[in-house]
Amino acid sequence: MTRATSPTTSAHDLGGASAVTASVVVGTTALSFADVIAVARHNARVTLDPASLTEVAATRTIIDALAADTEPHYGISTGFGALATTFITPDRRAQLQASLVRSHAAGSGPEVEREVVRALMLLRLGTLMTGRTGVRPATAETYAAVLNAQITPVVHEYGSLGCSGDLAPLAHCALVVMGEGQARDATGTLVSGGEALAAAGITPVVLAEKEGLALINGTDGMLGMLVLALDDLARLLVTADIAAAMSVEALLGTDAVFAADLQQLRPQLGQADSAANLRRLLHGSSLLASHAGPEDVSVQDAYSLRCAPQVHGAARDTAAHAALVAGRELDSAIDNPVVTVDGRVMSNGNFHGAPLGYVLDFLAIASADVASMSERRTDRHLDASRSKGLPPFLAHEVGVDSGLMIAQYTAAGIVSELKRLAAPASVDSIPSSAMQEDHVSMGWHAARKLRRSLDGLGRVLAIEIMTAARSLDLRAPLTPAAATGAVRDLVRTVAAGPGHDRFLSPEIEGVVHLVASGAVRAAAGADLA
C-alpha cells in the first residue's frame, strides 16, 4: 500500500516557481515538490492533518504493546546496528533512545544551508505522519512546531554515508527537538537547542521506545537537496536557452537549425522544448535577418550554437527522470524497522540511498556539460577569428584594454571544477558499523556536490549572458529580438556596456544574482518551457 499521492510534478514544472504556498498540510498524502520548496525556501507554515495524527496514535499502540513484551524487538527493546541482539530492559530504554541520537549527532565541518535543513526536517515529518514509524503524536507535533518557529538545527557538511539514510544530519535535528545541540533561531542567531525551544515555548521531547530510530532513519537530506536542485535546474536550463539565443544572435548564427520539423526527426522531449524556446527567443531578430538568405556565407554554425537544444534537452530529460525518482521517494515511508499496514514491525532496507544517489550524480554530469557548452560559446565571442567582426576580447581599445578576456578564464576555471564534481559519488562505498552496514550509497555526498555544481553552472551562464550582451551592443545599429533585447537591457542595470576596462567582478556578481533570482528568465518572457 502506498501513500495517497498528490498530482505528479515533473522537472519541467519546477523552475522559478509560481505562487508560494502559505501553509503546507502534512499527513498521509505525499508532500509535493511545491510543498518542499514552500517550507524550505519560503518559510511556509506546517499544519498536521488530524486524521493522520489519529493513525499515528493507533500505530503507537502497537509499539507500546511490543515494548511490554519479554521477547526482544529490534529498535524497541534492543540495541542498534551491530548491537541489534542486545536486549535492553524497560528502565534503560529512554536512555537508549537519547543515547542513540546523541551518539549519531557526530557531524563535522561547515554548517549546511538553512533551506536544506528545513527540507530534511519537513520530509522526516512527512514520514512520521504516515503512521508507519510508531512515534507518538506529540513527537510529530514538536517537529512541526520547530519548523513553524523557524528554528534551524545546526547540521554539518560531513557525517552521512547515505545508509541507513542520513543518520548524522537527522540526528542533529532530533537532538534539538530533545532540547540539546545547537540551532539558529529565526533571526539566524546561534543558540543552544534548549534556548531555542524555550524562547519559542516548545517543550523538549523525551524520546520513548522506537522514536530515536524513527527520527534518524531516512533519506530526507539527500531527497530534500534533490528537490531543491530540480527547482534550481529547471530555472537554469531555461536560462541556458536564453544565453544560447543571445550568443546565436550576437555571433551572427542561424535559427534555421531549430525548426520544429528538424526537431521532430529526433523526437527527444527535452530537445523539442529547448528548440521551441530558442525559436521564441529569436523571433523577430533583425540581427538574424541581416544575414539570412543566399548571401549568408556561414555554411554551418559551431556545435556549441547549433547543438544547444540537443545538449540542453538531454539535461532536461535527465532532470525529468530524476523528478520521477524524487516523486516516488516523496511517496515513501522510510524507517527501520517500519510498522506495516497490518501491524507487523519489520526490518527492511528501504533507507538505502541508491535511487537518489544515482540521479543526483546524473544531474551533476548534465550540469557540467551544459556549463561546458556555455563556456565554449563565451570563448567564441572573444576570439576575433571566430566572432565574425567583433573586436578581440570585446575590448574597447585593443591592446590597451583586455575586455572580457579574464571573465572567460573564470568561466573556464568553474567548468574545470564542475567536471571534477561530475565524478560520481554513488559508485563509492565504505563499510561501517562493524561490517553490518557493508554497502552504503554516498547519496548525501552526491547531493552536496550537486549543489556546488549548480552554483557553478549559474555563474558560467551569467558570464555568457554578460558577454553576449556586450556583443549585442557592439552589433548596433542592428537590434536583437524583443526577448533577448529585454535580457540585454536587464544586464545593463548591473553591468555597463562596452567601454574601457573596469572592475569586472561586481558586474559578474550582479548578473549572477539576476540569474539566481529568476530575473533573467522573467525578462525573457513567460512562455518558455
| Triad 521, 522, 526: Cα angle to 5° | 95
What single-letter DSSP state applies at residue 3? P
Burial class (CB in 10 A: 0-12, 13-18, 19+), 200: middle
The CA-CA-CA angle for residues 158, 159, 161, to 5°, reads 110
Rounded Cα distance between 253 and 280, Å, is: 15
Give residue for cell 556545435. Answer: 303
CATH of domain 23-217: 1.10.275.10
- Per the rule left: phi > 0, alpha: psi between -120 and 50, beta: everything else, 134 is left
Closest CA to 525 of 319, 283, 268, 269: 283
C-alpha–C-alpha distance, residues 34 and 14, integer Å: 8
Which of 21, 29, 12, 31 lies closest to 327, judged by CA?
31
Question: Residue 445: which H helix or E strand, with range?
Answer: helix 443-474
Residues 136, 88, 213, 350: is their CA dihedral positive or negative?
A: negative
- Residue 339: strand pairing partners: 345
The one-character DSSP state at 4 is B
480: Cα within 13 Å, side-chain hemisphere: 30
**Residues forming the active site:** 74
Domain ranges of the chain: 23-217, 226-289+301-524
Structure letter (DSSP) for residue 92? G
Query: pLDDT tens digits, the chain, 529 residues: what are they?
Result: 455 444 344 444 444 444 567 899 999 999 999 999 999 999 999 999 999 999 999 999 999 998 888 787 777 887 766 666 677 888 888 888 999 999 999 999 999 999 999 999 999 999 999 999 999 999 999 999 999 999 999 999 999 888 878 999 999 999 999 999 999 999 999 999 999 999 999 999 999 999 999 999 999 999 999 999 999 999 999 999 999 999 999 999 999 999 999 999 999 999 999 999 999 999 999 999 998 877 666 668 999 999 999 999 999 999 999 999 999 999 999 998 899 999 999 989 889 989 999 999 999 999 999 999 999 999 999 999 999 999 999 999 999 999 999 999 999 999 999 999 999 999 988 888 777 777 888 899 999 999 999 999 999 999 999 999 999 999 999 999 999 999 999 999 999 999 999 999 999 999 999 999 999 999 999 789 8
| Separation CA 337–CA 347 (nearest Å) | 4
Choose among 133, 161, 74: nearest CA to 341. 133
Q: Is the backbone of residue 345 left (phi > 0), alpha (psi -120 to 50) or beta? A: beta
Contact 182, 153 (CB under 8 A): yes
- For domain 226-289+301-524, say whether CATH 1.20.200.10 is its number: yes
Which amino acid is it at 405?
Answer: M
Residue 321: closest CA among 356, 348, 372: 356
